[in-house]
């Protein structure tokens, strides 16, 4: 067994790593199906955004209590990974608590910090489960999340609680074994949380304790590797993609809409034909009908969204009962992306499935309800932009399908003919100045 265990461990580690790499590569490929027409310069300011939004979670603190709870899980996740590092080295080398001889009496200090964090994570996960399933916090129980997304959210919290519990059981059994002076279980000193399990565990015979300790150790690391591979299928992918999302989020004033260079040039050539190059090809598509027409940043953002719903809670359309929900825009975009990725995986290249993001995943009524107020972008902790996607789809509706409400068509013709959205004569524009 002592010879086989590291081999099994290595095989597990390699399999988990390979599967994760494969899926991550597929997601990257899917994201890069988007256009890459935008330059992302000013790296200094962008790294600052990563520091503030992703690492510092600045925007989360609009609600300090929830931000604090989220921070506990986040800090726990990052810091407890140091312990996972030891577990992995133990697994590969077949040693037990490999760091112990190197840091001696500091070892229990480290484990105590991990245990306090792990306890905090457990408590917060329970609170989050209560918020979702008993208190029914509005943004966490809206229709957007019906079905799989709700299960996904609960599953993440339950798995985290299980992983933390296994960590405690493992440490508790270890301490009980140390008390019994079992071989291979070197004294570490007492651990603050798991020591509470020791009195009841000490009733058990050594063999059973070893079985418990080993089972908890294996289940804990298998659980972590499984969770790693669950990430790409889950909203929990945000723990990775929040960082690039913050990096690429807009630096310009939020009110600035993306310019369409192709249309700008078309208009320029129409107004001033001398500027038109002889070989200018007319633009092929306007706006976005499907994910292929969006920017890759929009697609990455769809994968980064953790469906927290702060955007929809702030959206004037959602809160007044319109069909539009910015969170659903992000979720629908990801749904479409995953369907396309599946399609490509099955057919080696994308085979037309007679579906498009516009119409089949996001309806015209949703798009028509947006006031472009930027509340969704402002509310998003990592400044994802549902608005950007909405605007690109609106462009397709108007410019590709000529689909507009009759009032908008009147507005357009007024602007074109009278230079104002209302039907006034341009001659009267300065009349206000003549009156008193």
Partner 1 sequence: MKVNTMAEMMASGTMPEYLFWVGCAGSFDQRAQKITKAFSLILDKVGISYAILGKEEACTGDPARRAGNEFLFQMMAYQNIQVMNAYGVKKIITTCPHCFNTIKNEYPELGGNYDVIHHTTLLQSLINEGKIVLKEGGAFKGKKISYHDSCYLGRANNIYEAPRKVLEVLDAELIEMKRCRSNGLCCGAGGAQMFKEEESGTTRINIERAEEAVATGAQIIAAACPFCNTMMTDGIKNKEKENEMAVLDIAELIAESMA
Residues contributing to the site for partner 1 (CB under 8 A): 62, 252-257, 259-260, 263-264, 266-268, 271, 286-287, 314, 316-317, 319-324, 365, 368-375, 377-379, 391, 394-399, 404-405, 407-408, 410-412, 415-416, 419-422, 424, 426-430, 432-436
Residues 108 and 193: their CA atoms lie apart, in Å, by: 12
Nearer to partner 1, 194 or 383 (CB): 383
Report CA-CA distances (Å) from 131 to 205, 342, 414.
41, 34, 50
Tell me the closest approach of the beta carbon of residue 204 to partner 1, in angstroms. Answer: 56
* 200-to-115, 177, 246, 431 alpha-carbon distances in Å: 19, 12, 47, 90
- Closest by Cα among 372, 364, 11, 309 to 146: 309
**Considering beta carbons, is residue 116 or 399 the nearer one to partner 1?**
399
Output the smallest distance, CB 216 to partner 1, in A.
Answer: 46
Based on C-alpha coordinates, what's the Rg of the chain? 28
DSSP, res 362? B
CB of 363 to partner 1, least distance (A): 11
Which residues does 171 contact at the CB level (< 8 Å), separation at least 6?
111, 115, 191, 193, 194
Q: At closest approach, how far in Å is the CB of 245 from partner 1?
A: 19
| 3 state SS of 324 | coil
State the nearest-atom distance from the C-beta of 322 to partner 1, in Å. Answer: 4
Judged by beta carbon, residue 13 or residue 263, the one nearer partner 1 is 263
Q: Rounded to whole angstroms, how far apart are CA atoms 234 and 236? A: 5
Tell me whether residue 212 or residue 370 sits nearer to partner 1 (CB atom): 370
Q: Which is nearer to partner 1, 353 or 365 (CB)?
A: 365
Report d(CA 132, CA 296) in Å as an integer: 32
Q: Which is nearer to partner 1, 175 or 356 (CB)?
A: 356
Nearest approach in angstroms of CB 287 to partner 1 is 7
| Cα(187)–Cα(114) distance, integer angstroms | 18
Beta partners for residue 295, in sequence order: 35
* Minimum separation from the CB atom of position 45 to partner 1 (A): 15
Closest CB to partner 1 among residues 100, 370 = 370
Q: Exposure of 156 by Cβ count < 10 A (0-12 exposed, 13-18 middle, 19+ buried)?
A: buried
Whichever of 42 and 365 has its CB closer to partner 1, that residue is: 365
* Shortest separation between residue 215's beta carbon and partner 1, angstroms: 49
Q: Write the burial class of residue 193 (CB in 10 Å: 0-12 exposed, 13-18 middle, 19+ buried).
A: buried
Phi, psi of 362, deg, nearest 5:
-125, 125
Q: Determine contact, residues 35/296, Cβ cutoff 8 Å.
A: yes
Cβ nearer to partner 1, comparing 29 with 261 = 261
Taking the least distance from each CB to partner 1, the nearer of 108 and 325 is 325
Smallest separation, CB 57 to partner 1 (Å): 16
- How far apart (Å, rounded) are the C-alpha atoms in residues 10 and 33? 35
């Amino acid at each position: 067994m002592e010879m086989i265990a590291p081999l099994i461990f290595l095989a597990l580690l390699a399999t988990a790593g390979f599967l994760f790499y494969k899926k991550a590569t597929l997601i990257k490929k899917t994201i890069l199906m988007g256009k890459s027409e935008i330059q992302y310069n000013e790296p200094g300011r962008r790294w600052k955004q990563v520091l503030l939004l992703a690492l510092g979670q600045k925007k989360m603190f609009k609600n300090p209590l929830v931000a604090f709870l989220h921070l506990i899980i986040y800090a726990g996740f990052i810091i407890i990974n140091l312990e996972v590092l030891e577990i992995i080295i133990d697994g590969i080398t077949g040693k037990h608590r490999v760091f112990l001889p190197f840091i001696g009496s500091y070892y229990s200090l480290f484990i105590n910090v991990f245990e306090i964090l792990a306890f905090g994570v457990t408590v917060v996960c329970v609170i989050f489960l209560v918020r979702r399933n008993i208190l029914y916090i509005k943004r966490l129980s809206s229709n957007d999340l019906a079905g799989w997304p709700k299960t996904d959210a609960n599953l993440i919290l339950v798995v985290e609680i299980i992983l933390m519990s296994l960590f405690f059981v493992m440490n508790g059994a270890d301490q009980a074994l140390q008390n019994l002076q079992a071989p291979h279980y070197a004294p570490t000193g007492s651990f603050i949380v798991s020591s509470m399990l020791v009195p009841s565990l000490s009733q058990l015979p050594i063999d059973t304790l070893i079985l418990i300790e080993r089972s908890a150790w294996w289940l804990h690391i298998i659980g972590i590797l499984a969770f790693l591979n669950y990430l790409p299928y889950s909203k929990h992918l945000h723990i990775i993609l929040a960082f690039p999302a913050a990096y690429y989020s807009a630096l310009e004033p939020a009110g600035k809409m993306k310019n369409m260079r192709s249309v700008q040039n078309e208009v320029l050539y129409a107004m001033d034909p001398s500027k038109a190059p002889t070989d200018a090809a007319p633009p092929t598509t306007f706006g976005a009908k499907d994910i292929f027409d969006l920017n890759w940043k929009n697609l990455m953002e769809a994968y980064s969204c953790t469906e927290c719903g702060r955007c929809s809670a702030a959206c004037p359309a959602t809160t007044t009962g319109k069909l539009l929900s910015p969170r659903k825009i992000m979720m629908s975009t990801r749904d479409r992306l995953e369907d396309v990725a599946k399609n490509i995986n099955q057919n080696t290249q994308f085979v037309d499935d007679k579906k498009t993001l516009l119409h089949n995943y996001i309806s015209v009524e949703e798009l028509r309800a947006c006031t472009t107020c930027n509340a969704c972008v402002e509310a998003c902790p990592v400044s994802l932009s549902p608005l950007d996607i909405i605007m690109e789809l609106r462009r397709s509706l108007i410019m590709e399908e000529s689909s507009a409400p009759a009032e908008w068509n009147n507005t357009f013709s007024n602007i074109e003919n009278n230079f104002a959205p209302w039907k006034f004569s341009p001659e009267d524009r300065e009349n206000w100045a003549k009156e008193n």
